[in-house]
Amino acid sequence: MLYFKTALELVQMVSTKEVSVQELVSEHLQQVDRVNPNVNAICTLVADLALDQSKEMDRALAQGKDVGLLQGLPIAIKDLTLTKGIRTTFGSPIYKDFVPDTDALFVERLKAAGAIVIGKTNTPEFGAGSNTFNSVFGATHNAYDMSKTAGGSSGGAAVALACGMIPLADGSDLGGSVRNPANFNNVVGLRPSPGRIPRYPRIDAWNTLSVVGPMARCVTDAALMLSAMAGADQRDPISFSQHSRPFHEDLDADFTGTRIAWSQDLGQFPVQREVVEVIENILPKFGDMGCVIEEAHPDFSGADDTFQTLRAQMYVSDHAEDLAQHREHIKDTVVWNIEKGLELSPVEISRAQSQRTVLYHRVREFLDYYDFLVLPVSQVVPFSIEEEWVREIEGVEMKTYIDWMKSCWYITLVGLPAISVPCGFTSHGLPVGIQMVGKHHHERHLLKFAYAFEQAVQLGSAYPQVAL
């Protein structure tokens, strides 16, 4: 059974010719055929193309050629991302027949590193909202409870990973779209610093709110994927060079004396008691790692208006033309977000940008004392797939469709790297993760910390029943 082995194990098996790339891709495609009809994680499949490419790669390997870091690993690309020759719908009926003639920059990199694209993963319309459903492909079900949401917007990616359909997946993250579905499906999701993974093409090349990041079933595999994706490119003006070593190497580290700040709510938002209970049960593991953990958080006052303003401005940039031409084909929450942006004044936008700077420096100064901030990934456990968005948490009304994700998008605002790592299950068997936030551009140190935590917790192979 190859499909639940780690990506690093699979790379080694291909490298030593214990398994061929064709066998590797074929077995994962068989898992897709068997499991995907139940969960709807992969929305477009290009099995024949993937098999043809696997045969070509085997021939290259037989000739002693270097096929790249990822050695034929199958991958499915989120349906918000351009993939040459493969339908890319953005979860929207407006683009249901769109086939790009180019790859996004990071897809180019993954292919150059030897990954083989087997298809696309499902996403909400235009990636809006952390519940993966759309009118083109329908809803993606949670891997651990088919009646629950997969989260989003990288819900298809998280479920495909959890169910063994692919060993690695990409996600994009604005308000938590890598971290939230990773949390809901017991996998790992890294939101890197803006510019760590270059992006092209983009409408706004200077956008630092939305990033792409790796997702995997373990920290080491996420680091492996980051190694293939990261590094400067002149097509992205905010991109910067990675360190000289690949991110997946030398993850072992001693965290004795490391200062950890734990906050269940950043002093600002409600969190379901079930979420807090699972995380608090696991907090002693940081002590086992030698860390000193204290309850503390930086001041995030002003974050709500700041994020809502900057997000709405971004929606105008990305989707105002879609609204003008195809309003009847756009879901209500996206219409609301675009129109909110159209109503903004220059003063409101300028104020939000200034407040974001204030928030960054507050958190930076906080992390001058603490080495890491840890907090819940999501404020709730996976909710009913029939519920479009969470309306209430612990008696507190959620006024907009993204209010229940503040635990993620507060961190987005300050641009620091953050990772979601599994930490346990509720009494009803629903996954809960923990969010770890590192210092500016410190992905490598954050990955080492997450890896040490993962080793300390030792959750084991809690694979979803639907995938077995």
* Structural domain containing residue 215: 7-467
pLDDT in tens, 57-86: 999 999 999 999 999 999 999 999 999 999
Q: How far is CA 451 from CA 220, 264, 322, 419, in A?
A: 7, 22, 42, 11
Region 5-27 average pLDDT: 98
Residue 244 scores a pLDDT above 90: no
> Is position 397 within any domain?
yes
DSSP-derived letter for residue 117 is: E
| Number of domains observed in the structure of the chain | 1
Alpha helices in 43-184 (DSSP H): 47-62, 105-112, 155-162, 179-184
Q: Tokens 């996206």: give the residue.
A: 334
Two tokens at 282? 């696991």
Q: How many Å is the Cα radius of gyration of the chain?
A: 21
Q: Report how far residue 336's alpha carbon sits from residue 319's, in angstroms, rounded to the nearest whole number.
A: 12
Comparing CA positions, the residue from 298, 283, 197, 186 lying closest to residue 238 is: 197
> Is position 342 within any domain?
yes
What pLDDT, on the 0 to 100 scale, is given for residue 415? 98
> Is position 182 within any domain?
yes
Region 233-256 average pLDDT: 93
Q: How far is CA 355 from CA 202, 223, 300, 308, 362, in A?
A: 25, 32, 10, 12, 11
> Is position 251 within any domain?
yes
What pLDDT, on the 0 to 100 scale, is given for residue 460? 73
Comparing CA positions, the residue from 261, 278, 280, 457 lying closest to residue 380 is: 278
> Is position 1 within any domain?
no
pLDDT band with cut points at 50, 70 and 90 for residue 178 = very high
**Strand ranges (E), 94-210:** 116-121, 133-134, 138-139, 168-173, 188-191
pLDDT in tens, 420-448: 999 999 999 999 999 999 999 999 999 99
Q: What is Dmax (Cα atoms) for the chain?
A: 64
Mean pLDDT rounded to a whole number for the chain: 97
Q: How many CA atoms lie within 13 A of 126 on its CB side?
A: 21
Region 108-129 average pLDDT: 98
Sign of the dihedral defined by the CA atoms of residues 18, 20, 21, 27, in that order = negative
Region 148-157 average pLDDT: 98
Kindly report the number of other CB atoms within 10 A of residue 294's CB atom: 11
DSSP-derived letter for residue 148 is: B
> Is position 81 within any domain?
yes
pLDDT band with cut points at 50, 70 and 90 for residue 1 = confident
What pLDDT, on the 0 to 100 scale, is given for residue 242? 72
Write the DSSP string, 337-349.
HHHHHHT--HHHH
Region 332-348 average pLDDT: 98
What pLDDT, on the 0 to 100 scale, is given for residue 461? 76
Tell me the backbone φ, ψ of residue 273, rounded to 5 degrees.
Answer: -60, -35
* Bond from prior residue into 153 cis (ω within 30 degrees of 0): yes
Q: Report how far residue 78's alpha carbon sits from residue 90's, in angstroms, rounded to the nearest whole number.
A: 9
Kindly report the number of other CB atoms within 10 A of residue 203's CB atom: 10
Residues 11/225, Cβ–Cβ less than 8 Å: no
Region 123-143 average pLDDT: 98
CATH number, domain containing residue 129: 3.90.1300.10
Residue 336 scores a pLDDT above 80: yes
> Is position 2 within any domain?
no
What pLDDT, on the 0 to 100 scale, is given for residue 317? 96
Write the DSSP string, 240-295.
----SS-TTS------TT-EEEE-SSTTTS---HHHHHHHHHHTHHHHHTT-EEEE
- Give first-to-last CA distance, the chain, whole Å: 11
pLDDT band with cut points at 50, 70 and 90 for residue 459 = confident
Tell me the backbone φ, ψ of residue 23, rounded to 5 degrees.
Answer: -65, -40
For the annotated catalytic residues, the residue numbers are 78, 153, 177
Percentage with pLDDT > 90 across the chain: 98
